[in-house]
Amino acid sequence: MTTKQIPKFPQVGIFACFSGGSNTGSLTGIAALEVVRRLGNETVGICSLPATLNQIPRQSALVKRIEKLIVIDGCHNGCARQLLAEAGIVPSVYLNLETDLHFSKQGPFSSLAFTDEEVNQVADAIIATIEKCST
């Protein structure tokens, strides 16, 4: 029988757009999960954008305790950053796949129009961002 391990509190929290409506929105979330897989959840954790915006007490309290917050958007619309700003949350670092990494948003219903190589490119960029803001 295997037991679940309770994760330690992460040093870095990621808010990913992860809209899933387009290739770049999907990439933000898939790559963020890949970063957690690579670095472990003691280093980095995914923050719930909907729970934070809905002011769920437990999630709001957790987000306030995280040392560094990274917001990742898939395109020039910057939805995650804009929504968090309206809630008074300013990230330590902001990464935009379209403007910073030069990915092309393919538009609505292109949710799965990305490659494993692109997931790795974005994950590598997120990890580089984490390393840069941790020094």
Look up residue 76 and give its two tokens.
């020039």
List, in order, residues 6 or more apart from 73 with CB less than 8 Å away: 17, 28, 79, 80, 81, 94, 95, 96, 97, 98
**Total-model pTM:** 0.91
Q: How many whole angstroms separate alpha carbon 130 and alpha carbon 30?
A: 17
Rg (CA), the chain: 14
- Name which of 40, 98, 49, 56 is nearest 70 in CA terms: 49
CA angle 79, 83, 84 (to 5 degrees): 120
The 10s digit of each residue's pLDDT in 47-105 is 999 999 999 999 999 999 999 999 999 999 999 999 999 999 999 999 999 999 999 99
Tell me the pLDDT tens digit for each residue of 7-45: 678 999 999 999 989 999 999 999 999 999 999 999 999
- Confidence at 3, pLDDT banded by 50, 70, 90: low
Domain ranges of the chain: 21-133
Element (H, E) at 85: helix 79-86
Q: Which pLDDT score is estimated for 36?
A: 97
- What is the pLDDT confidence band of residue 107, given thresholds at 50, 70 and 90? confident
Residues with Cβ within 8 Å of residue 52, at least 6 apart in sequence: 15, 59, 60, 63, 84, 87, 89
